Structure 1
Amino acid sequence: MTEKFTAVSLFTGAGGMDIGFQKAGFNIVWANELMPHAAATYDLNHREGVMHRGDINDVFNELPKPGTIDCVIGGPPCQGFSVAGKMDLDDERSKLVFSYMDVVEYLKPSVFVMENVKALASLAKFSAIRDELMRRAQVAGYCASLYLLNAKDFGVPQSRERVFFVGFRKSMGIVFNAAYFEKYKKDPLSVREILTHFGPAGTEKNPLTCKAKITLAENPVMRKSPYAGMLFNGLGRPINTDGVSCTLPASMGGNKTPIIDEAHVFEGKENWVENYHSSLRNGGLPLGMNDAPSSLRRITVKEAAAIQTFPLDYKFSGPISSQYTQIGNAVPSDLAKAVAFSVSDALSGVVVPKGEKQGEIEFS
């Protein structure tokens, strides 16, 4: 594809967001990442010299010249917006969204796209952050809004809600709205279709990368769905392989890694998780902690990357635990691609009228 626009990538991680924007014709000319293993992963898969390692505030003077970049993208770390945490404007983790805006204000791109967790847009206790982001965008000359998107609506085999803060320079006269995303909605493959490409774990094509033991909860927490609640010890939930995955967490690699049933996926046997859940719902007694069948296992690095829609030949650097973290932290590439094409359309002069239902997913 012909590269139409230049872009700077911040808080790049392993490069999931960059892949999507590159597929939409954006030329990533400068990227930044603090974590060494993620930066090394990026270097393995992208053009030499693009990645600038270190804290963005320490490499600020290495940025391209103002006015030479069409787009700034990135997903500042979201730990400061944890629902379980205490929100504080002075929290160092929360300040990273403002470091992102520092770069936008300096480079003066035509558009910026910031990704973050749903809570940033939906919870009242984060209103001060939202207000400050909007204020800074307005003062810098941008018309910006927050958009809530679910990755599963854009071809990603994973339910993963994320917020995108998108702003266009007012002087461009672009009226961007959530209707731009509608064109790029598509049904995802099932997790089963993803897994069958790799085959059972433990082969050269699909190395077994997580051996954390799977044990059954002594007192299961029941929900209507067998893929919610807590049938197992640890926070790794079973995946409905005939549908889409739950949100993959950055804490994968141990007992928080999601679970699949190989016998169900590759041998056509009955779904053990659903059968066990049905038995409990109908008054059956919980099994013993160590009675989980041997066919249950946790997803591999290869499978996790594919569920996040990284290219199948993408290489990851660092220890296995770091690779899982890089994957869990990433923006799904196909979700980023849909956002990138939507932004590209707007920059290219495509006008999309706002639909009647668009207010359901737009925050302002």
Structure 2
Amino acid sequence: MISAETEVHQSDTVRILDLFAGPGGLDVAARFLGFESVGIEWDRNACETRYAAGLQTIHADVSVMRETRFDEIPKTVDVLTGGPPCQSFSVAGNGAGRLALDTVKEFMHRLVHGEDEAEIDKDLHALGVDPRTALVLEPLRWLLKAIETEGREPYNLIVLEQVPTVLPLWEVYAELLRRGEGRLRGVKYEAECWALKTEEFGVPQTRTRAVLVARLPAEGAVASLEATHLPFDLHRGKYDPAQSDMLPTDSVIPGTRRRWLSMAEALDAASRLDDSPVDVSRLRTNGEMDFFVVSNYGSGGDPKNRGRRLSSEPAFTVTGKISRNKVYKSTAEYEAGKSDRFTIPEAGVLQTFPHNYPWSGNDQAQQVGNAVPPRLGMHILSRALRGRAPSDEELAVAATWPTVPQTYTEELRSRGCGDESRCPPDSHKVSGAPRESAL
């Protein structure tokens, strides 16, 4: 494993380019597996978290970076990863992306078969859909850019993730990559895509992600991901939310996968680590974790029907509004309207970030909710890069993030935001000194 303390002053160790990198979900996963990455991220707050965590970062717009600064990406990069913004595709969003799925598929084919990108962009704009919808095309554009740029090679491996409604687009990606037609210039990939349930990989939350993995044939066939835990039954019936003893307590069922991980188990384990910022003493009753959570979102199409989860169950999908979920220790507290909230470190743990991950900047709840769960990322990247699941030792070590020297954080910030004029517009109030390169 590469330590987060390792000061990487040169870019010749970087293998992974992470588009829409966020606060570091996939980068954290890569680091614990021993791979160095660089992320491109538009949001300044997420960049601040990344700098504090010691993750190489370029504060830039992904599209602008591809169009005008592609030469700054290390030539050692042979893995492309990304999770384009999902709001317009999400069930929780306005759904513009879901309505435009067929149209986006058409644009994917147009890109590959050589139509002018300026015309494609013009047509996309004319649709009047959420501009973020078009960002799902960016990984394809980055691949085409690599193929068409002299001195560059096609990526050996591509890993993409999004909300489950994007799975039909990943299927089109896979089809195009297998054919290698048009601008792909005969470059063909072995490609597969799946809808993965995070709780089946040890993430203490129910969350489904659409994942695409594509590899050049020389890298071997794409292996299916093997779940390590049982799925959580979302239709388990009605029960008193204060009664946790109505749920099974067996941690391992002989001859099968392990049971899903609960909120109580994850938070309790994190709270017992040295110098942990996770303090769940307020959630204990007679020394035991016993609480229930009322979701900020409605269920069954009824906004007033707030879902509920017991502490002995996985969390709801962790979104940028997790701080609006209400936590109660008893039915009496619920009836009295006396609720608690998850802290940012606790929300991070439910996403499987290390308990002491250095969340920084503003909008931290949104950062947490936007991220890929690192534990899921470890399973995806390990299987894609190494052909096997991460070891129990690697997963155990991933509970704690090593301290990053402040000097290195400042160096990363200087390299990522040193020339603030190259950062996204209006992202800095005070201009800084110029610098020669992003890396």
Cα distance in structure 1, aligned partners of 2:86 and 2:302? 28
Cα distance in structure 2, aligned partners of 1:347 and 1:239? 33
Residue 213 of structure 1: aligned partner: none
Matched, 1:246 2:316: yes
240, 250, 261: which is aligned to 1:189? Answer: 261
Matched, 1:149 2:208: no
Which runs of 5 or more residues in structure 1 are unaligned? 122-126, 208-215, 222-227, 264-270, 274-289, 349-364
How big is the shift at 1:104?
2.6
Q: Deviations over 1:299-345 (max 9, x none)?
A: 221211110011111111223xx100000111111011111111122
64, 73, 85: which is aligned to 2:95? Answer: 85
Contact 1:238 1:260 in 2 (8 A): no
Matched, 1:161 2:208: yes
Cα distance in structure 2, aligned partners of 1:104 and 1:346? 23
Superposed counterparts of 1:107-256, under 5 Å? 108-121=154-167, 127=168, 130-131=171-172, 134-135=175-176, 138-139=179-180, 140=184, 141-170=188-217, 172=218, 174-178=220-224, 180-182=225-227, 187-196=259-268, 197-198=270-271, 206=279, 237-253=307-323
Q: Deviations over 1:13-62 (max 9, x none)?
A: 0101211122122211x210001101111111024xx2111211222224
TM-score of the pair, normalised by structure 2:
0.58
Residue 99 of structure 1: aligned partner: 138
Greater per-residue helix proportion:
2
347, 354, 364: which is aligned to 1:304? Answer: 347
How big is the shift at 1:133?
6.0
Cα distance in structure 1, aligned partners of 2:164 and 2:16? 24
Cα distance in structure 2, aligned partners of 1:32 and 1:45? 15
Distance 1:186 1:339, change over 3 A: farther
Paired AA for residue 341 in structure 1:
S
Superposed counterparts of 1:236-315, under 5 Å? 237-253=307-323, 257-261=324-328, 263=329, 271-272=330-331, 292-293=335-336, 295-315=338-358
Residue 327 of structure 1: aligned partner: 368
Paired AA for residue 193 in structure 2:
L
Matched, 1:23 2:32: yes
Residue 53 of structure 1: aligned partner: 59
How big is the shift at 1:12?
0.4
Paired AA for residue 97 in structure 1:
V
Paired AA for residue 378 in structure 2:
K
Single out whichever of 53-62 and 2-11 deviates more from structure 2.
Answer: 2-11
Contact 1:10 1:33 in 2 (8 A): yes
Contact 2:2 2:33 in 1 (8 A): no
How big is the shift at 1:138?
3.7
Distance 1:345 1:181, change over 3 A: farther
Single out whichever of 189-198 and 240-249 deviates more from structure 2.
Answer: 189-198
Residue 283 of structure 1: aligned partner: none
Single out whichever of 80-89 and 68-77 deviates more from structure 2.
Answer: 80-89
Cα distance in structure 1, aligned partners of 2:278 and 2:226? 35
Contact 1:238 1:258 in 2 (8 A): no
Paired AA for residue 351 in structure 2:
Q
Paired AA for residue 85 in structure 1:
G
Contact 1:24 1:344 in 2 (8 A): no
How big is the shift at 1:182?
4.2
Cα distance in structure 1, aligned partners of 2:169 and 2:265? 43
Residue 74 of structure 1: aligned partner: 82
Q: Deviations over 1:38-89 (max 9, x none)?
A: 1111111024xx2111211222224556863231112110123234423333
Cα distance in structure 1, aligned partners of 2:72 and 2:226? 29
Paired AA for residue 143 in structure 2:
V
Contact 2:199 2:261 in 1 (8 A): no
Cα distance in structure 2, aligned partners of 1:347 and 1:238? 36
321, 324, 338: which is aligned to 2:379? Answer: 338
Q: Secondary structure at the match of 2:215?
A: strand
Cα distance in structure 2, aligned partners of 1:168 and 1:298? 42
Contact 2:78 2:157 in 1 (8 A): yes
Distance 1:189 1:252, change over 3 A: closer
Paired AA for residue 102 in structure 1:
R
Paired AA for residue 342 in structure 2:
I
Cα distance in structure 2, aligned partners of 1:327 and 1:195? 16
Distance 1:109 1:130, change over 3 A: same
Q: Secondary structure at the match of 2:340?
A: strand
Paired AA for residue 317 in structure 2:
T
Paired AA for residue 310 in structure 2:
N
How big is the shift at 1:346?
3.0
Which runs of 5 or more residues in structure 2 are unaligned? 4-12, 105-123, 147-152, 230-256, 281-293, 390-439
Contact 2:174 2:214 in 1 (8 A): no
Q: Secondary structure at the match of 1:57?
A: helix
Deviating above 4 A after TM superposition, structure 1's stretches of 4 or more consecutive aligned residues are 2-5, 62-67, 127-130, 182-188, 203-207, 228-235
In angstroms, what is the RMSD of aligned CA positions?
Answer: 3.7
Q: Deviations over 1:131-179 (max 9, x none)?
A: 2563256423222121111110111100111011110013x1611132x
TM-score of the pair, normalised by structure 1:
0.69
Residue 232 of structure 2: aligned partner: none
Contact 1:69 1:108 in 2 (8 A): no
Cα distance in structure 2, aligned partners of 1:98 and 1:341? 25
